[in-house]
């Protein structure tokens, strides 16, 4: 959600113009602070998953992030938004670890388990696509004055103070839609089984206590260090490049032309409102392409995970093409020239306007395909390299310390890097703020893909498994 809502949220709550010093500061804080806290509490959540069971922690984490996302929609200030984005992120960090550990222990047959982990993880990209669609629908609805009901906080619940300036803002409703996952969870919670393998060891009194120090014992040290570093690179590409898309889209010529056509002859306040809505809508459209690419990449990995035995070889299926394409993709966005090959009106579908095939649309599809698939890889790989009593802790260290804390910090690297004055001496004269973000994103993505490819040669192969059937 954050890449889609951060621009309008900062403009409303902070009064910042895009790419100003205050804007860059708060974009960095909203990406970095929740990730740091999520990493720390996510590691604790992994330990609790091993200590008290998968189901209990899984349920609690989903409820935490769902209700936090809903509360964030009522933000009256940037500190309030930051607080609830942080608790949302903590829930997400814990949920990933608990879910992967739980699913990996429900199925005994190795091939069945690999497929289940692969295909269930693919649905997180479907969730990302649904967010982009919901955001587009809400932006359309917000164009009609007072179509969306006003958002208001009762006085007795307004612990943070302040008031909601735009009670009909689409970004608020986008955040509040995060409550939806809690509804089916509440219904099915009584029917969710605990991990039978964890429960059996717990009942027999043979379950060992998890220990972070054990992750660095000679047997697991290389696995922990390499997976943590590679997880950081995978998330670094996503946060440092792909999730900067809403900051890059305003530099695309087709977007600028549409804004010019829609604002011609309009008073300045109306023109600024239309400009913001158009940029948000276009960012949502490109985000849909990226999410569809990520969904396709995850399904491709799920199909290949039982075919390609070597985990190193499987990961390189995505790393090698990505290393070649990522710099070309973001340099293409920096150039800002869009070419549309095909367009069809599908405005009758909620959340969509046109079905179009364009050069940059295909490019961001490819970026999502090769990058997001790597997240599913780790969900399949990590349960196989850590013992049951250490599974949640090991997964959590790689995912949260590597991915959430180190990897997501590359969002700040890109934002801060794009604001450095030295870029003006390197980049083409007159480069816009959107172009600067795209250039830095290209550099970040290329470097991290290269490091990840090198590290893949040091990735330990899991011990061979055979079907128990």
Instruction: Please tell me the total count of domains within the chain.
Output: 1
In a domain, 390, yes or no: yes
Q: Is 207 a member of any domain?
A: no
* Strand, helix or coil for residue 436: helix
pLDDT band at 116; cut points 50, 70, 90: confident
CATH, residue 288: 1.20.1250.20
Averaged pLDDT for residues 153-174: 80
SS3 313: helix
Q: In 73-109, where does DSSP find H-type helix?
A: 78-104
Residue 443 lies in a domain: yes
**Residue 344's beta-bridge partner residues?**
355
pLDDT at 7 over 80: yes
> Token digits for 384?
């196989």
**Res. 156 pLDDT band, cuts 50 70 90:** low
> Given this model, what pLDDT does residue 350 score?
67
**Encoded tokens for 82:** 């930051």
List, for residues 358-367, the tens digit of each pLDDT value: 999 999 999 9
For residue 392, tell me if it sits in a domain.
yes
Q: Report the C-alpha gap between 409 and 393 in whole angstroms.
A: 22
Q: Three-class SS of residue 355?
A: strand
Helix, coil or strand: residue 87: helix
pLDDT for 348? 67
CA distance 117 to 114: 5
| Structural domain that includes position 299 | 2-192+220-456
pLDDT tier for residue 467 given thresholds of 50, 70 and 90: very low
Q: What's the pTM value of the predicted model, to 2 decimals?
A: 0.81
Look at residue 212 and tell me if it is in a domain: no
The answer to whether position 201 is within a domain reads: no
Give the model confidence (pLDDT) of 181-219 as tens digits: 778 877 887 788 888 888 898 888 888 888 889 999 999
For residue 16, give the 3-state DSSP assignment: coil
């Amino acid at each position: 959600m954050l890449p889609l809502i951060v621009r309008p949220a900062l403009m409303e709550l902070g009064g910042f113009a895009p790419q100003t010093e205050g804007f860059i500061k708060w974009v960095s804080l909203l990406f970095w602070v929740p990730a740091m806290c999520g990493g720390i509490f996510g590691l604790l959540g992994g330990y609790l998953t091993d200590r008290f069971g998968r189901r209990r922690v899984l349920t609690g984490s989903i409820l935490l992030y769902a209700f936090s996302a809903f509360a964030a929609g009522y933000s009256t200030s940037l500190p309030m938004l930051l607080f609830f984005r942080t608790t949302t992120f903590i829930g997400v960090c814990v949920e990933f670890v608990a879910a992967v550990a739980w699913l990996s222990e429900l199925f005994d047959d190795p091939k069945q388990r690999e497929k289940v982990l692969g295909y269930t993880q693919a649905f997180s990209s479907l969730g990302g696509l649904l967010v982009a669609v919901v955001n587009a629908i809400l932006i359309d609805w917000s164009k009609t004055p007072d179509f969306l009901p006003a958002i208001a906080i009762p006085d007795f619940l307004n612990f943070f103070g302040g008031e909601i300036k735009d009670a009909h803002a689409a970004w608020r409703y986008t955040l509040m839609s995060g409550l939806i996952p809690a509804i089916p969870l509440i219904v099915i919670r009584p029917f969710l089984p605990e991990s039978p393998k964890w429960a059996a060891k717990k009942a027999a009194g043979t379950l060992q206590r998890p220990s972070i120090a054990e992750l660095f014992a000679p047997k697991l040290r290389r696995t922990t260090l390499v997976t943590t570093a590679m997880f950081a690179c995978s998330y670094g590409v996503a946060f440092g490049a792909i999730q900067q898309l809403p900051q890059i889209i305003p530099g695309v010529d087709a977007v600028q032309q549409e804004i010019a056509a829609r604002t011609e002859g309009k008073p300045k306040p109306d023109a600024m409102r239309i400009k913001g809505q158009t940029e948000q809508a276009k960012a949502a459209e490109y985000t849909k392409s990226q999410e569809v690419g990520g969904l396709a990449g995850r399904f491709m990995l799920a199909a290949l995970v039982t075919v390609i035995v070597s985990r190193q070889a499987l990961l390189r299926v995505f790393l090698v093409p990505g290393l070649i394409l990522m710099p070309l993709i973001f340099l293409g966005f920096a150039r800002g020239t869009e070419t549309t090959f095909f367009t069809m009106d599908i405005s009758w579908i909620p959340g969509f306007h046109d079905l179009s095939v364009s050069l940059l649309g295909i490019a961001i599809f490819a970026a999502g395909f090769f990058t997001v698939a790597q997240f599913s890889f780790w969900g399949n790989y990590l349960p196989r390299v850590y013992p049951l009593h250490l599974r949640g802790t090991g997964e959590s260290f790689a995912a949260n310390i590597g991915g959430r804390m180190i990897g997501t910090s590359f969002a700040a690297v890109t934002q801060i890097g794009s604001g450095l004055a030295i870029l003006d001496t390197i980049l083409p004269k007159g480069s816009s703020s959107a172009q600067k973000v795209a250039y830095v994103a290209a550099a970040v993505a290329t470097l991290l893909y290269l490091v990840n490819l090198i590290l893949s040669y040091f990735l330990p192969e899991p011990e061979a498994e055979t079907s128990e059937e």
